[in-house]
A and B are shown apart, each in its own frame.
Chain A
Amino acid sequence: MLKLFYRRLALAICLVGVASALTFALIASAPGNAANFLAERAAGPKATHELVQKIEHDLGLNDPLYIRFFHWVGNVADGRLGESLRTGHPITEEFAQRLPTTIRLLLGGGVVACFMPLLIGVAGALSDGGVLDRSLRVLAIVGASAPNFFVGALLVLLFSVRLHWLPAFGTSGLLSWVMPWVTVGLFPTCVLSRVVRVTLQELMSRPFATTGFAKGYGRTGVLVYEALPNLAVPFLTTFGAQFALMIIGAIVVESVFAWQGIGAFFIDSIRFRDFPAMQAILMTFVVFFVFVNLLVDMVCMLIDPRIRRSQFESA
């Protein structure tokens, strides 16, 4: 078991390494030059060729790509992410200010996306083929298709502009978090509730469900005691994928509610071609995706002996 864990961890670290090298190479090959930009900011339109060359030398832009990459990795290991070209502040400072907002947004959305689908999916499975089941199915399709910026705008229109119940922006107070959490959680909720519904239906036709009926459980009993435990693995894998995808939702939600999180930082850095910031944020995202996937795989291995066994066989 521990051996499997280490193998999976090594794989994850490799993936982060390869992905960071790729993003570094891509961003380094981007047209436009940070030195030109910095020289212009320092000396205005009078920036001389010498000044540009001096900055290039100072930043080490003339070194070969792999040396620059290892230099950057060393800096990251020291906790230095460089300075944002746009603001001139260290990127770590920006991160310290912005990360809590995004993390709280993702966690809140994750809670919504974890419990709502179970509720909706089980409710649908219990009223199999009934009005509730069918209307929930239609709602799930619509919810999974509606763009999240539109969902956010609708919520603001209804609860802030018309009803004055919730604030339309800001992060002060629990109330201002409700709409962003719902907005970011709606898409994964809809996708997951369909997964729950379909998987439950499939599980209910398996032999162990028949055994459950034979033991004298009713439909609800079989659903809760026999089918739900078997739902864990498919649910967790989809949840992991959807949770990682919520970063896109976070980018959009931060833009709708005018929040200063990592997502907004990313969009700003793209707009201003702030390469050091982009590199740092992309790396954060990659680590986040890989970590979430790793965690999901681990948990699945822990709860389902079949997966452990198949991994051992392939090892």
Chain B
Amino acid sequence: MINRLRERLGGISPYALIPVVLFVLVAVFAPVLAPYAPGMQVITDAMQGPSFAHWLGTDYLGRDLLSRLLLAARVSLAAMTIVLVSALAIGILIGSIAGYVGGKVDLVLISVIDIMLSLPSLIIALALIGIVGPGYWSMIAALTLAWWANYARMSRAVVASEVHQPHIEACRVIGASHWWVFTRHILPSVLGVVLVYASADAGALVLSIATLSFLGLGVTPPTPEWGQMLVDGMNYLEDSPSMVLLPGLALTLVVVSFNVLGEAIALQKLPRAIKGRVLLKRIRARADEEETVKRGVQ
């Protein structure tokens, strides 16, 4: 698994990785970096421009914008990680069961997955939030339940293609248990493929979290979050546009960096796909040759 990950990530230009790593570092060390507590209000300092005391100015309650932006990065990263990890866990589990067991179980599971995928994930998430009621944890749960199907579909494809490989059958023949075969021989390939895609998916997830918070259905005040800071600032667009511009820019930058990373990963995979296609052509050509040879013999 590590080898596969390195194989895919190794060739990626560090320039694609740097912004994402920077975002993670900022998010993790946000409480240390932030000059003020994000909730500290000094109402007499409200809606000020940049100054030495407040590098990026203050919002309508006199809270330091820089501190709030930094802590919002932390909130985004935390929510995104929780959703991604749980969606991956559920998706890989269900996808692997479908691919490994096959038959009717596969048919039922893949139908469920396909129905989930026929609707946009954010609509599913909104519907689930509507059922449970808005809030941070219902946002996390809703996004997880809306997101797992992607990974389930991917894991199922990998497992289904691996299960009938000769080396897997050989393992079964020499008496390895299903559990052993799955965890030692199949799961690593699944993780190798799915984790790479998941890392490219993180941008879409950050965007969804911000969108839900913008709509008032995700992270709620006083916790700072970019989408929610932006919707707060909309009322003061004329007097103090920085309350809208800064969170929006921060969010855009983070999503761009994740998408660039995803792009780099996709490009990295391209040679492999071409290699596969060329290989397939050669196999077909050889089969054709054999066919003609046979006919010649007859």
Contacts and interface: CB of A to CB of B under 8 A. Distances in A.
Contacts of B119: 19, 285-286, 289
A11 to B, nearest CB: 11
Contacts of B234: 153, 256
B37 interface: no
B106 to A, nearest CB: 18
Interface in B123-154: 123, 126-134
A31 B65 CA distance: 38
Bin the interface of chain B by size: 35 or more
Contacts of A154: 245, 248
Interface in B230-287: 230-231, 234, 237-238, 241, 244-245, 248, 251-252, 255-256, 258-260, 263
A270 interface: yes
Contacts of A286: 119
Interface stretch (A65-73, A104-112, A245-253, A296-304): A245-253
B9 to A, nearest CB: 20
B211 A252 contact: yes
A32 B259 CA distance: 40
B248 A147 contact: yes
B134 to A, nearest CB: 7
B209 to A, nearest CB: 10
Bin the interface of chain A by size: 35 or more
Interface stretch (B40-48, B77-85, B93-101, B213-221): B213-221
For chain B, what secondary structure do more than half of its interface residues adopt (helix, strand, loop), or is it mixed? helix
A19 B115 CA distance: 7
A278 B130 CA distance: 8
B215 A157 contact: no
B214 A149 contact: yes
B255 A147 contact: yes
Given A147-B252, A153-B230, A244-B120, A252 B215 contact: yes
B177 interface: no
A273 B120 contact: no
A233 B123 CA distance: 26
B213 to A, nearest CB: 10
Nearest to B217: A270
Nearest to A27: B131
A255 B215 contact: yes
Please list the 9 inter-chain residue pairs (A to B) with the smallest Cβ-Cβ separation, ordered nearest first. Answer: A150-B248, A270-B130, A145-B255, A30-B131, A145-B256, A146-B252, A149-B214, A153-B244, A248-B122
26 contacts: A15-B118, A19-B119, A27-B131, A31-B132, A31-B133, A32-B133, A141-B260, A141-B263, A145-B203, A145-B252, A145-B255, A146-B255, A150-B230, A153-B244, A157-B245, A247-B120, A248-B123, A248-B211, A251-B126, A252-B215, A267-B126, A267-B216, A270-B126, A271-B134, A286-B119, A289-B120
Given A141-B263, A145-B259, A285-B123, 4 more contacts: A19-B119, A29-B131, A157-B244, A285-B119
